[in-house]
Amino acid sequence: MKKLTIKILTIALAGFLFSCSDSFLDMAPKSIISGDQLLTPENAEGMVIAAYSELGNDHYTAPNSLWPYADITSGDSYKGGGGTGDIWEFNFLELFAFNTADNPLIDQKWYRLYVGIGRANEALKVINKLSVDEYAEKVKRQAEMRFLRAHYYFVLKTMFKYIPWIDETIEGNAYSDVSNRQFTDSELWDKIATEFEFAANNLSETQSDKGRPNKYTAKTYLAKTKLYQAYEQGDDNSVTSINTSKLEEVVSLVDEVISSGQYGLFADFGYNFLWSHDEGSSESVFAIQRSVDDGTPKGRLDWGNMLNYPMNPEYGCCWFHIPSQNLVNSFKTDVNGLPEFDTFNNSDVSEGDDFQNNSFDVRLDHTVAIPGHPWKYDPNFIYQKDWARATQIYGHFSSLKENQSPDCDCFQKVPPFMASSKNTDIIRYADVLLWKAEALIELGRQYEALPIINEIRQRAINSTAMLKMNNGNPSSNYNMDIYKSGINCDWTQEFARQALRWERRLELAMEGIRFFDLVRWGIAGNYINSYFVEEQTKREYLKDGRFTTGKHEYFPIPQNQIDFSKGLYKQNYGW
Specify if 330 maps to a domain.
yes
Beta partners for 232? 241
Q: Considering only CA atoms, which of 498, 464, 495 is closest in space to residue 480? A: 464
Distance CA 168, CA 430 (A): 34
**179: CB partners within 8 A, 6+ apart:** 164, 565, 568, 569, 570
Q: What is the pLDDT of residue 172?
A: 83
Collapse the DSSP code of 500 into the 3-class scheme (helix H, G, I; strand E, B; otherwise coil) and give the result: helix
Q: What is the pLDDT of residue 348?
A: 98
Give the least confident one: 29-33, 407-411, 557-561.
29-33
pTM here is: 0.93
pLDDT in tens, 107-155: 999 999 999 999 999 999 999 999 999 999 999 999 999 999 999 999 9
pLDDT at 9 over 60: no
pLDDT at 15 over 60: no
Dihedral, 396, 59, 216, 139 alpha carbons, nearest 10: 180
Q: Total structural domains in the chain?
A: 1
Distance CA 47, CA 8 (A): 9
Specify if 322 maps to a domain.
yes
Amino acid at 391: T
pLDDT in tens, 327-342: 999 999 999 999 999 9
Collapse the DSSP code of 493 into the 3-class scheme (helix H, G, I; strand E, B; otherwise coil) and give the result: helix
Collapse the DSSP code of 37 into the 3-class scheme (helix H, G, I; strand E, B; otherwise coil) and give the result: helix
Q: What is the pLDDT of residue 299?
A: 83
pLDDT in tens, 508-531: 999 999 999 999 999 999 999 999
Asked if residues 193 and 222 have their Cβ atoms less than 8 Å apart, the reply is yes
Mean pLDDT of 373-385: 98
Mean pLDDT of 4-29: 37
Specify if 233 maps to a domain.
no
Q: What is the pLDDT of residue 210?
A: 86
Give the burial string for 315-329 (b: 16+ CB within 10 Å, else e): bebbbbbbbbbbbbb
Specify if 152 maps to a domain.
no
Distance CA 154, CA 164 (A): 12
Specify if 438 maps to a domain.
yes
Specify if 574 maps to a domain.
no
Mean pLDDT of 299-310: 95
Q: Considering only CA atoms, which of 86, 455, 121, 399 is closest in space to residue 273? A: 399
pLDDT at 1 over 50: no
Confidence of residue 393 (pLDDT cuts 50, 70, 90): very high
Collapse the DSSP code of 12 into the 3-class scheme (helix H, G, I; strand E, B; otherwise coil) and give the result: coil
Q: Considering only CA atoms, which of 484, 490, 428, 492 is closest in space to residue 457? A: 484
Confidence of residue 295 (pLDDT cuts 50, 70, 90): confident
Specify if 429 maps to a domain.
yes
Total residue length of the chain = 575
Collapse the DSSP code of 368 into the 3-class scheme (helix H, G, I; strand E, B; otherwise coil) and give the result: strand
Collapse the DSSP code of 177 into the 3-class scheme (helix H, G, I; strand E, B; otherwise coil) and give the result: helix
Asked if residues 339 and 316 have their Cβ atoms less than 8 Å apart, the reply is no
CATH of the domain at 519: 1.25.40.390
Q: How many CA atoms lie within 13 A of 248 on its CB side?
A: 3
Mean pLDDT of 172-198: 96
Asked if residues 372 and 515 have their Cβ atoms less than 8 Å apart, the reply is no
Specify if 412 maps to a domain.
yes
Which residues form the domain of 386? 303-544
Q: Which helix (H) or strand (E) holds 90?
A: helix 88-95
Mean pLDDT of all residues in the chain? 93
Confidence of residue 326 (pLDDT cuts 50, 70, 90): very high
Q: What's the start-to-end Cα distance of the chain, in Å?
A: 42
Distance CA 81, CA 309 (A): 10
| Beta strands 374-375 and 378-382, pairing class | antiparallel
Q: What is the pLDDT of residue 173?
A: 87
Distance CA 119, CA 464 (A): 44
SS3 track for 343-411: CCCCCCCCCCCHHHHCEECCCHHHHEECCCCEECCEEEEECCHHHCCCHHHHCCCEECCCCCCCCCCCE
Confidence of residue 298 (pLDDT cuts 50, 70, 90): confident
Q: What's the distance, CA 99 to chain centroid?
A: 21
Distance CA 264, CA 286 (A): 13
Mean pLDDT of 87-105: 97
Distance CA 84, CA 119 (A): 35
